[in-house]
């Protein structure tokens, strides 16, 4: 967006989908639940340049994404910086867009139990 006021207002359109995330619910199967160990969420309507930080409710940093592309979204594999799947719970997502502002959204995930016997 070339118009600064419009670009700032566009921050209100940022979402994460699906939210809430219900593991093994069948909703979004194939799009968000690829397999037992490959689940995803998508942060949408992002500006070209931004930093996305995902925190637990206790303020522990879970994951950071730095975006500088025309793509309007970032796919999160629901894992932390070390590749470990997140636990079920509420997460705070902070988006910082230089020159535009900040946006905070909440994300709720119910993660499925992984059955390694049938993997």
Residue pair 99/51 in contact (Cβ under 8 Å)? The answer is no
All structural domains of the chain with their residue ranges: 4-118
Mean pLDDT of 46-59: 97
pLDDT per position as a tens digit, 71-86: 999 999 999 999 999 9
Calculate ∠ Cα 101-44-112, nearest 5°.
120
Looking at the DSSP assignment, which residues form a beta bridge with residue 16? 43
Q: Which residues pair with 67 in a beta bridge?
A: 50
CATH number of 4-118: 2.60.40.1930
Query: Mean pLDDT across the chain, nearest whole number?
Result: 85
Question: Would you state the structure tokens that stand for residue 42, as one six-digit string?
Answer: 């998508």
With pLDDT > 90 as the criterion, what percentage of the chain qualifies?
A: 64
């Amino acid at each position: 967006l070339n118009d600064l006021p419009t670009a700032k207002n566009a921050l209100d359109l940022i979402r994460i989908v699906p939210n809430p995330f219900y593991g093994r619910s069948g909703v979004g199967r194939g799009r968000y639940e690829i397999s037992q160990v490959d689940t995803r969420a998508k942060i949408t309507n992002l500006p070209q340049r931004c930093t996305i930080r995902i925190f637990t409710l206790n303020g522990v940093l879970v994951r950071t994404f730095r975006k500088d592309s025309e793509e309007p979204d970032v796919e999160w594999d629901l894992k932390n910086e070390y590749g470990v799947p997140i636990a079920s719970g509420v997460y705070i997502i902070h988006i910082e867009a230089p020159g535009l502002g900040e946006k905070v959204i909440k994300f709720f995930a119910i993660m499925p139990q992984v059955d390694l016997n049938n993997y």
